[in-house]
Amino acid sequence: MPDLLTADGSKAVRRISIIVPTLNEQVCLNATLGALVLAPGDELIIVDAGSTDGTADIARRYTDRFYQGPRGRAQQMNFGAQQAGGDILLFLHADTRLPPDGLEAVRSALQQPDTVGGAFRLVITPATAALRLVAWGTNLRSRFGGLPYGDQALFVPRRVFEEAGGYDDVPFMEDIRLVQALRRRGRLALLPQAAATSGRRWQRDGVLFTTFRNIVLMALYFFGVQPATLKRWYG
């Protein structure tokens, strides 16, 4: 993606719009938003789907771009993208923390002309031995299979996102479908900087069960099972 230039011919800084979909995320949201290091021109957009806890109060401490949007993560993220003014869109899960230099790493990665998006390397907290193994497998798949997940903070130039049609309006696997659409347009960058996502799902349901379930559901998706059916099985 070529550099943007200002009127005087100097290189312009690409503005990043961070879009966070939320639904009852008061436990994680403060840590996620508190870790953000925005440059001038960057913006934080939060699209809530009707939280009944303290999510809205926390969100408004960090941004005045807080919206009540449609329910469903794909629709929330598309709605946020429509409100965004940045040149780059970064979709951040409410339980995922970016590294301090994360946004600058995104800007740098998208200077490569063949790069149409990307994601961060993943770590899972708390970093138990089992969750380190899960993260290792995720990073292996992302690097060699070109298939990062949404909890790795997907980012994409706004123009490319719009050309791809945004997120498909499906209740599950919306991140995989976007990644597939992006891969048809160019290269995805996997940044060496790590995004730290909460291990609460693995802790709640068990590491072995959760990992096995995710592998099975992904396989079924690629065999053509519809996302709505997979969502019911996921629970």
Phi/psi at 113 (nearest 5 deg)? -65, -25
Predicted structure pTM score = 0.92
| Percent of the chain residues past pLDDT 90, beyond the cut | 92
Beta strand 155-157 pairing with 88-91: antiparallel
What confidence tens digit (pLDDT) does each residue in 118-177 have? 999 999 999 999 999 999 999 999 999 999 999 999 999 999 999 999 999 999 999 999
Beta strand segments in 135-203, E: 155-157, 187-198
Q: What is the pLDDT of residue 235?
A: 79
Q: Which residue has the tokens 């059916």?
A: 229
What's the confidence (pLDDT) of residue 183? 95
Each residue's pLDDT expressed in tens, for the chain with a length of 235 residues: 444 433 333 346 799 999 999 999 999 999 999 999 999 999 999 999 999 999 999 999 999 999 998 999 999 999 999 999 999 999 999 999 999 999 999 999 999 989 999 999 999 999 999 999 999 999 999 999 999 999 999 999 999 999 999 999 999 999 999 999 999 999 999 999 999 999 999 999 999 999 999 999 999 999 999 999 999 988 7
Q: Which residues contact 190 (CB under 8 A, 6 or more apart)?
A: 118, 119, 120, 121, 139, 142, 143, 148
User: Residue 57 contacts by C-beta under 8 Å, 6 or more apart in sequence?
Assistant: none
How far is it, in rounded angstroms, from Cα 231 to Cα 221? Answer: 11
What six digits make up the tokens of 126? Answer: 């708390």
Residue 60, helix vs strand vs coil: helix
Neighbours of 166 (CB within 10 A): 20
Phi-psi region of 139 (alpha: psi -120 to 50; beta: other; left: phi over 0): alpha
- The string over 23-41, giving b where at least 16 C-beta atoms fall within 10 Å of a residue's C-beta and e elsewhere, is bebbebbbebbebbeeeee
Q: Which domains are delineated in the chain?
A: 16-199 (3.90.550.10)
Query: What are 151's two structure tokens?
Result: 């909890």
Alpha-carbon span 106 to 11, nearest angstrom: 16
